[in-house]
Amino acid sequence: MTAETYTNPVLNADWSDPDVVRVGDDFYLTASSFGRAPGLPLLHSRDLVHWTLVGHALERLEPAGEFTGPRHDCGVWAPSLRHHDDRFWIFWGDPDQGVFQVNAPEIRGPWTRPHLVKAGKGLIDPCPLWDDETGEAYLVHAWAKSRSGVKNRLTGHRMRPDGTDLLDEGKTVVDGDRIPGWFTLEGPKLHRHDGWFWILAPAGGVETGWQGAFRSRGFFGPYEERIVLEQRDTDVNGPHQGGWVRTPSGEDWFLHFQQRGAYGRVVHLQPMRWGADGWPVLGDEGAPVAEHRRPGLPPQPPAAPATDDDFPGGRFGRQWSWTANPQDGWATQHSGDGLKLACVRSADAHDLRRLPSVLTQRLPGSPCAVEVELRLDSREPGARAGLAVLGDAFGWIGLQRGTDGAVHVVHRFAEAVAERERDADHARLAPEGRVRLRIEIAAGARCRFFHDVGDGPRASGPVFAATPWRWVGALLGLFALAPAGQGHAGAATFTRFRISAL
CA pair distance 241, 244, nearest whole angstrom:
10
What local confidence, expressed as pLDDT, does residue 1 receive?
60
pLDDT band at 185 (very low <50, low <70, confident <90, very high): very high
What does the pLDDT look like over 334-366, one tens digit per residue?
988 899 999 999 999 999 999 999 999 999 999
> Strands of 19-23's sheet, edge to edge?
19-23, 26-30, 39-45, 52-58
Q: Which of 121, 120, 85, 81 is nearest to 101 (CA)?
A: 81
What does the pLDDT look like over 27-80, one tens digit per residue?
999 999 999 999 999 999 999 999 999 999 999 999 999 999 999 899 999 999
CA pair distance 173, 364, nearest whole angstrom:
38
Burial zone of 431 (CB within 10 Å; 0-12 exposed, 13-18 middle, 19+ buried) = exposed
Please, are residues 53 and 43 in contact by the beta-carbon 8 Å criterion?
yes
Residue 494 has pLDDT above 80, yes or no: yes
Whether this model's pTM surpasses 0.85 = yes
Helix/strand/coil (H, E, C) string of 138-191? Answer: EEEEEECHHHHCCCCEEEEEEECCCCCCECCCCEEEEEHHHCCCCCCCCCCEEE
What local confidence, expressed as pLDDT, does residue 502 receive?
94
β-pair type (359-362, 475-483): antiparallel
What local confidence, expressed as pLDDT, does residue 464 receive?
98
What's the CA dihedral at 276, 281, 287, 292 to 10 degrees? 100
Please, are residues 148 and 164 in contact by the beta-carbon 8 Å criterion?
no
Residue 186 has pLDDT above 80, yes or no: yes
Residue 435's alpha-carbon distances to 204, 405, 452, 453, in angstroms, are 47, 17, 6, 5
What does the pLDDT look like over 215-256, one tens digit per residue?
999 999 999 999 999 999 999 999 999 999 999 999 999 999
CB neighbours of residue 500 within 10 Å: 11
Q: Which residues carry out catalysis?
A: 17, 186
What local confidence, expressed as pLDDT, does residue 472 receive?
93
CB neighbours of residue 153 within 10 Å: 16
Domain ranges of the chain: 5-293, 321-501
Q: Identify the CATH homologous superfamily for domain 5-293.
A: Glycosyl hydrolase domain; family 43 (2.115.10.20)
Please, are residues 40 and 57 in contact by the beta-carbon 8 Å criterion?
yes
What does the pLDDT look like over 453-485, one tens digit per residue?
999 999 999 999 999 998 899 999 999 999 999
Under CATH, which number does the domain 321-501 receive?
Answer: 2.60.120.200
What does the pLDDT look like over 52-65, one tens digit per residue?
999 999 999 999 99
CA 67 remoteness from chain centre: 17
What does the pLDDT look like over 286-305, one tens digit per residue?
999 999 999 999 989 999 99
Amino acid letter, residue 491: A
What local confidence, expressed as pLDDT, does residue 212 receive?
98
Helix/strand/coil (H, E, C) string of 413-457? Answer: EECCCCCCCEECCCCEECCCCEEEEEEEEEHHHEEEEEEECCCCC
β-pair type (475-483, 344-346): parallel
148 φ, ψ (degrees, to nearest 5): -115, -15
| Cross-strand partners of 284 | 287
What does the pLDDT look like over 12-24, one tens digit per residue?
999 999 999 999 9
Q: Which of 441, 500, 365 is nearest to 11 (CA)?
A: 365
What does the pLDDT look like over 380-406, one tens digit per residue?
999 999 999 999 999 999 999 999 999
Amino acid letter, residue 444: G
What local confidence, expressed as pLDDT, does residue 470 receive?
85
Please, are residues 48 and 269 in contact by the beta-carbon 8 Å criterion?
yes
CA pair distance 34, 215, nearest whole angstrom:
30
CA pair distance 119, 123, nearest whole angstrom:
8
CA pair distance 69, 354, nearest whole angstrom:
7
| DSSP calls for 11-35 | B-S---S-EEEEETTEEEEE---BT
Residue 367 has pLDDT above 80, yes or no: yes
CA pair distance 473, 363, nearest whole angstrom:
7
End-to-end CA distance of the chain: 19
What does the pLDDT look like over 402-461, one tens digit per residue?
999 999 999 999 999 999 999 999 999 999 999 999 999 999 999 999 999 999 999 999
What local confidence, expressed as pLDDT, does residue 248 receive?
97
CA pair distance 211, 240, nearest whole angstrom:
5
| Cross-strand partners of 453 | none
Q: Which of 312, 348, 311 is nearest to 478 (CA)?
A: 311
Residue 301's alpha-carbon distances to 48, 49, 77, 219, 350, in angstroms, are 12, 10, 31, 41, 44
